[in-house]
Amino acid sequence: MNYKTVIFEKIANNDLVVGIFGLGYVGLPLATSFAQSNVKVIGFDKNPEKVKKVNLGENYIKDINDNDFREVIGNKSLVATDDFSRIKECDAIIICVPTPLDIFKKPDMSYIIIACTEIGKNMKAGTFISLESTTYPTTTENLMLPILEKESGLKQGIDFWLGYSPERVDPGNDTYKTKNTPKVFGAMSEDGIEIGQAIYKKAIQNIHVVSSPRVAEMVKILENTYRLINISLINELALLAGKMDINIWEVIEAAKTKPFGFQAFYPGPGIGGHCIPLDPFYLEYIAKLYDFDLSMIHTAGHINMRMPHYMYMKITSALNKNKKSVNGSKVFFLGVAYKPNIDDERESPALELIDIVANKGALVSYNDPYISKITTHKKVSLNSIELTAKTLSEADVVVITTNHKDYVADFILEHANLVVDLRNVIDSKSEKLYKL
Amino acid sequence: MNYKTVIFEKIANNDLVVGIFGLGYVGLPLATSFAQSNVKVIGFDKNPEKVKKVNLGENYIKDINDNDFREVIGNKSLVATDDFSRIKECDAIIICVPTPLDIFKKPDMSYIIIACTEIGKNMKAGTFISLESTTYPTTTENLMLPILEKESGLKQGIDFWLGYSPERVDPGNDTYKTKNTPKVFGAMSEDGIEIGQAIYKKAIQNIHVVSSPRVAEMVKILENTYRLINISLINELALLAGKMDINIWEVIEAAKTKPFGFQAFYPGPGIGGHCIPLDPFYLEYIAKLYDFDLSMIHTAGHINMRMPHYMYMKITSALNKNKKSVNGSKVFFLGVAYKPNIDDERESPALELIDIVANKGALVSYNDPYISKITTHKKVSLNSIELTAKTLSEADVVVITTNHKDYVADFILEHANLVVDLRNVIDSKSEKLYKL
């Protein structure tokens, strides 16, 4: 019996063991989704804290339903471990590790390299492997494949199958979760496509197959580059609109009445999250190898890098009206999450803005109902303070950096001395209101 | 009785005369839509040919239903004239004149200036005036208003009302026509908003009011700038994808399976039509006045200006495979319209591509089922030839420049020696097929 027959029998009998490599905001929901279909899942993470939490049924990902999580932990469908030798127990391994940029904004592939090395060393023949981390096209074929074949001594397409399927996790999205978000998938061989599709079907409703891993890699980059350049465009237009006495938010609302050919994006103090500020730069990186310059991404990156500095200028202009400098002023930030109603501040432009004003001598405080403490890039550590009439009125300027649903426009405007609203939370005219 | 009361009585009694200034692809459908509501419409155009055609019931705009047109001409709801002194018969005047760019891609405001001068000279007190031509924000307030007040000796807000409402005509769109496409409208005074809304309601179902003409002007620019930068992005990514052995069309189809946060755009030999290649540059023009550089638009413009030249390179690469040069080769273009299934070739990138290859010594021919003859920018005059097995096989290379529904992939691929498909008409693998 060959490996393909074996794995298809296991799939048919629901006798499959799926390993999820990396238990973050992508891996843990996926692991839970598989486990809910009664697939046995082993979650791997090198962080023993995460492993411990998972095994105790402590859910640390907001998008996962707590009851669902407790159930799959309770019935042992999902177990976590930091023991990579257990990789050999798995019939399929799905890699969900981070692909950050380094401080010079170059792709940091170390997590993928470590994952592939561990998997190559430990996997058994007949394993299906898929990468979900966002990365530049050709990563699966040119970076992963050689490591896996070298470390394992096995041959792709014969002894194991390799593919790529980008995660499409949208934190805070109440409609589209892991299970009902269509999944794009490409593999290096026909068998790999068949097997991968059958496996992913256990956890995800719709699989869209493409002809190669590099096409699937490009899909994810296109999706997020689309967002990057549109946010950049509207940020740039917002700055011009401010100079022309045009309310950009009103413009966007009106443009949305066009029933075809338009999708609304909103300006803000910069771009945040784990995808949009990063993904396009993977592509820009690999493009150099092809002597190609991605001018749209480059320009968009330039605009967004400058946004926090423009927002700093907005704050200084507002304070200037009251004859105050940033140096010595009390600046109270509302919201540090990178988007509304979520508990994640990594890559948030608010952190950068806090660093800028703190560095200029401001006395900084913040409120975020979802994030109780932060440490900025420049190691400013703060605890969230309460949002009250008193905390608002004590600040020289209140800066709205995230449009959490908890923020009540009238209350803020009533009690603050000066408001810089970077998220269109307050839709009224006032002498003390400055808007992006 | 003041002017406002008079015009509202006329609106209520359907006793209104609406003048439409400019009888092109915007003005004539709008005139027809008003006339269909039994509003008396006078269409003004300085071109006596157009005036004659309209009065004979000869419909020259594909998006207008022929029967509808004959009916409103037949019952005299709509009459056309080149006699501008009849402006004084009108209670409302809507300006739908062209706003092209000059050869240095600077806005050419002469049509608006002429319209305002004629209207100012001839209008009676109590007239409502609205501009629909796409233009840079502040045009209505800073360019039109002074001319109208000077020529008429009347005061805006008292003796007449001025507003702006961008046309959203999408030629070839079978779902959204003049009547059912929501209309954005801003005026210079409260009375102007009330009156304008009531008048437009006669011809259009939904009016979205904004706070000023400049906001309305910006809305239109945003809508089309959105399209420009997204087409530019996908064009740039298509060029890179070609180098990376990635089928960009497959990438786009897969990205479309994302149920949120993505809208598909398609690459092509450049951008065409009366809006997307022009509108963003009005904004870039006025931005200079505010010491502002619109880098996204600038970069997008740069990419699209180069696209026909890249497409020329594709053609040379294809011919090169057969050891042929462009010089002396027969190049057969399929489609000169700027988008599928319409009869309009103005601003079409196909014309520019024809000029480039003709200038390099190619023997150029074309087929377009909707456009029987063309004259390019460099004055190359051609008649459409038949698309047959013979005409295909006689060409050294067939270049698909518009994806008209009439083009049958298999037939073209069977008979052509070499195909450069710039529109993803042919979705198969072949040695003789080159795709963007």
Q: Is B261 left (phi over 0), alpha (psi -120 to 50) or beta?
A: left
List phi, psi (to 5°) of B397: -150, 140
Q: How far apart are CA B73 and CA B48, in angstroms?
A: 17
Record: contact B170-A287, CB cut-off 8 A: no
Q: Please give the radius of gyration of chain B, using alpha carbons only, rounded to the nearest integer.
A: 24
Record: contact B223-A300, CB cut-off 8 A: no
Nearest to B134 by CA among B91, B174, B172, B96: B96
Nearest to B26 by CA among B187, B181, B205: B181
| A278–B contact, CB cutoff 8 A | no
Residues counted in chain A: 436
Q: CA of A332, closest CA in chain B: separation in Å? A: 30
Interface subset of A 350-379, CB within 8 angstroms of B: none
Token pair 């009849």 is found at B86
Query: Which of A244, A288, A290 is the best substitution to test chain B (most B C-beta atoms within 10 A)?
Result: A244
**Both tokens of residue A402?**
């995230």
Given CA atoms B257, B258, B261, B262 in this order, what sign does their dihedral have? negative
Q: Are the C-beta atoms of B53 and B28 separated by less than 8 Å?
A: no
Helices (H) and strands (E) in chain B, counts: 14, 15
Q: Are strands B40-44 and B17-21 parallel, antiparallel or unpaired?
A: parallel
Record: contact B258-A181, CB cut-off 8 A: yes
Assigned CATH for A253-435: 3.40.50.720
Question: What are A400's strand-pairing partners?
Answer: A334, A421
| Per-residue tens of pLDDT for chain A, all 436 residues | 699 999 999 999 999 999 999 999 999 999 999 999 999 999 999 999 999 999 999 999 989 999 999 999 999 999 999 999 999 999 999 999 999 988 888 899 999 999 999 999 999 999 999 999 999 999 999 999 999 999 999 999 999 999 999 999 998 898 999 999 999 999 999 999 999 999 999 999 999 999 999 999 999 999 999 999 999 999 999 999 999 999 999 999 999 999 999 999 999 998 877 788 888 989 999 999 999 999 999 999 999 889 999 999 999 999 999 999 999 999 999 999 999 999 888 889 999 999 999 999 999 999 999 999 999 999 999 999 999 999 999 999 999 999 999 999 999 999 999 999 999 999 988 999 999 8
Among 3.40.50.150, 3.30.1330.60, 3.20.20.70, 3.40.50.720, name the CATH number for the domain at B3-211: 3.40.50.720
Is A275 labeled as catalytic in the residue annotation? yes
Q: How far apart are CA B61 and CA B344, in angstroms?
A: 10
Record: contact A229-B225, CB cut-off 8 A: no
Q: What are the extents of the domains in chain A?
A: 3-211, 253-435
DSSP state of B123: P
The pTM (predicted TM-score) of the whole model is 0.94
Highest CATH level, class, for B306-435: alpha beta
Q: How far apart are CA A356 and CA B165, in angstroms?
A: 42
Q: Which residues contact residue A152 at a Cβ distance below 8 angstroms, ignoring those fewer than 6 apart?
A: A119, A120, A121, A123, A159, A160
Q: Could you tell me if the ipTM is greater than 0.85?
A: yes
